[in-house]
């Protein structure tokens, strides 16, 4: 008997939207871009996004050459979200919580490339002392609350961090406690219970948190519009009386501007925001995924929206920099990435007698 894969007849989402929905929503957003940008911030954003892109290209190379092991989920294509959100926040003051796609969030938060690369090689010099690996990057120093392999697991952790900020200010009278927490997660995660539970609590308690959905259309091989009753995730905020925004996630300036609005609300005690950033991942779900499910036309559409090229265009057309200056920055970043690999390869592995060290807080 032949096996036939059939789509259930009643899977259509409430909007009746189909496969092109993601691209259509994105196209409708493109025309409302903010412009104001100073030279220092513009170049910093370019550096951060370039580091994210080139660091991960090097990860892919190391993995396919058999030098890096385990599951490795890359972020190529989504850099504008990490740089836009984290770039608008205060380093070592605000807090960040990631997913298994966490390398670029860690870099944007300021974790040195050497420490991130070392972690991917399982070395003692890694930000999680080589005990975590790709999906479990942590840094107390850089306020990175972790990468999480289980989807949605970071959302309640981020909620706790936002609660702490408010509790310190209002109960412990620490008047300078105005930190905001950003929780990053994907479209596929928005059908999980933690998402709804945490949105409810965050709004009820007016917590200083930004829920950042990186809607890249896919949850492994499941298209978003096939898996959710209402594909417009930002609208789900409304059910909780929360502010929700749909954002061009391929434009770092749009992401940064939306984050600034959310930060202002959070620091003013007005509570959380749900940002749905429309974006796309340029590689398969993980480096073990041959990426055969997504249509060629779809990949081409998003390849033309490359967030790095978009920023480059904005920087040059606003006379903020020149092409040659950007090429020089890329060369500097390449050196930093190569240095991180050399450092990681030559670093020591954790001693086998100490493999259980750092499980408890007193070891840290």
Ligand X SMILES: Cc1ncc(C[n+]2csc(CCOP(=O)(O)OP(=O)(O)O)c2C)c(N)n1
Residue 151 near which of ligand X, Mg ion, none (CB within 5-8 Å, type-dependent): ligand X
Smallest separation (angstroms) from ligand X to the CB of 150? 4
Under the binding rule (CB under 6 A), the answer on residue 52 touching ligand X is: no
Cα 363 to Cα 101: distance, rounded to the nearest angstrom: 27
SS3 annotation, 213-228: EEECCEECCEEHHHHC
**At 251, is the secondary structure helix, strand, or coil?**
coil
Nearest to 102 by CA among 78, 122, 121, 124: 78
Structural contact between residues 33 and 251, judged by C-beta atoms closer than 8 angstroms = yes
Under the binding rule (CB under 6 A), the answer on residue 101 touching ligand X is: yes
158, 311, 337 from 131: Cα distances, Å: 22, 36, 22
User: Which residue number, 133 or 186, has a Cβ lying nearer to ligand X?
Assistant: 186
Of 51, 72, 86, 151, which one interacts with ligand X (CB under 6 A)?
151
Under the binding rule (CB under 5 A), the answer on residue 42 touching Mg ion is: no
Q: Which two tokens stand for residue 211?
A: 């829920």
Residue 22 near which of ligand X, Mg ion, none (CB within 5-8 Å, type-dependent): none
Of 14, 18, 19, 150, which one interacts with ligand X (CB under 6 A)?
150
**At 36, is the secondary structure helix, strand, or coil?**
coil
Of 119, 187, 246, 314, which one interacts with Mg ion (CB under 5 A)?
187
User: Which residue number, 188 or 272, has a Cβ lying nearer to Mg ion?
Assistant: 188
Under the binding rule (CB under 6 A), the answer on residue 249 touching ligand X is: no
DSSP letters, 245-270, are EEEETT-HHHHHHHHHHHHHHHHTT-
- Minimal CB distance residue for Mg ion: 186
**Window of 11-19, 182-190, 200-208, 272-280 that interacts with ligand X by CB under 6 A:** 182-190
Q: Which two tokens stand for residue 361?
A: 């807080």
Under the binding rule (CB under 6 A), the answer on residue 228 touching ligand X is: no
Q: Which two tokens stand for residue 66?
A: 């058999």
* Residue 115 Ramachandran class (φ > 0 left, ψ -120 to 50 alpha, else beta): alpha
Under the binding rule (CB under 6 A), the answer on residue 126 touching ligand X is: no
Q: Which residues lie across from 223 on neighbouring strands?
A: 218
**Window of 10-18, 179-187, 234-242, 288-296 that interacts with ligand X by CB under 6 A:** 179-187
**At 240, is the secondary structure helix, strand, or coil?**
helix
Cα 197 to Cα 205: distance, rounded to the nearest angstrom: 12
Q: Which two tokens stand for residue 317?
A: 């057309």
Under the binding rule (CB under 6 A), the answer on residue 274 touching ligand X is: no
User: Which residue number, 220 or 355, has a Cβ lying nearer to ligand X?
Assistant: 220
Cα 21 to Cα 14: distance, rounded to the nearest angstrom: 13
Of 83, 98, 216, 251, which one interacts with Mg ion (CB under 5 A)?
216
Q: Which two tokens stand for residue 27?
A: 């196209």
Q: Which two tokens stand for residue 39?
A: 């030279």
Under the binding rule (CB under 5 A), the answer on residue 244 touching Mg ion is: no
The mark string for 130-149 relative to ligand X (x by CB under 6 A, - otherwise) is: -------------------x
Under the binding rule (CB under 5 A), the answer on residue 186 touching Mg ion is: yes
Of 181, 189, 203, 340, which one interacts with ligand X (CB under 6 A)?
189
Under the binding rule (CB under 6 A), the answer on residue 186 touching ligand X is: yes
Q: Which residues sit at the interface with Mg ion, rule CB under 5 A? A: 186-188, 216, 219
Which residues of this protein are in contact with ligand X, per CB under 6 A? Answer: 101, 149-151, 185-189, 216, 218-220, 285
């Amino acid at each position: 008997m032949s096996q036939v894969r059939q789509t259930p007849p009643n899977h259509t989402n409430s909007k009746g939207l189909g496969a092109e929905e993601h691209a259509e929503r994105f196209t409708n957003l493109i025309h409302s871009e903010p412009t104001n940008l100073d030279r220092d911030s513009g170049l910093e954003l370019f550096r951060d996004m370039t580091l994210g892109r080139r660091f991960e290209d090097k990860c892919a190379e190391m993995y396919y050459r058999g030098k890096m092991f385990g599951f490795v989920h890359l972020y190529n294509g989504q850099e504008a979200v990490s740089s836009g959100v984290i770039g608008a926040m205060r380093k070592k003051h605000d807090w960040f919580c990631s997913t298994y796609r966490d390398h670029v969030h860690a870099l944007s938060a300021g974790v040195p490339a050497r420490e991130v690369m070392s972690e991917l090689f399982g070395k003692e010099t890694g930000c999680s002392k080589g005990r975590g690996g790709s999906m479990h990057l942590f840094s107390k120093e850089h306020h990175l609350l972790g990468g999480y392999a289980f989807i949605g697991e970071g959302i309640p952790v981020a909620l706790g961090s936002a609660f702490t900020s408010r509790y310190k200010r209002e109960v412990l009278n620490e008047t300078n406690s105005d930190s905001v927490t950003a929780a990053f997660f994907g479209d596929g995660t928005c059908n999980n219970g933690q998402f709804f539970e945490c949105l409810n609590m965050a709004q009820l308690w007016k917590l200083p948190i930004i829920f950042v959905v990186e809607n890249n259309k896919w949850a492994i091989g499941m298209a978003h519009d096939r898996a959710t009753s209402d594909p417009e995730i930002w609208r789900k905020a409304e059910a909780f009386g929360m502010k929700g925004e749909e954002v061009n996630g391929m434009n770092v300036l749009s992401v940064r501007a939306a984050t600034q609005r959310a930060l202002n609300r959070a620091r003013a005690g007005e509570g959380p925001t749900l940002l749905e950033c429309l974006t796309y991942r340029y590689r398969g779900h993980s480096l073990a995924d041959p990426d055969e499910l997504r249509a060629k036309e779809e990949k081409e559409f998003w390849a033309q929206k490359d967030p790095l090229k978009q920023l480059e265009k904005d920087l040059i057309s606003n006379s903020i920099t020149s092409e040659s200056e950007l090429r020089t920055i890329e060369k500097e970043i390449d050196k930093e990435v190569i240095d991180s690999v050399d450092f990681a390869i030559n670093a020591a592995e954790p001693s086998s007698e100490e493999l259980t060290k750092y499980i408890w807080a007193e070891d840290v």
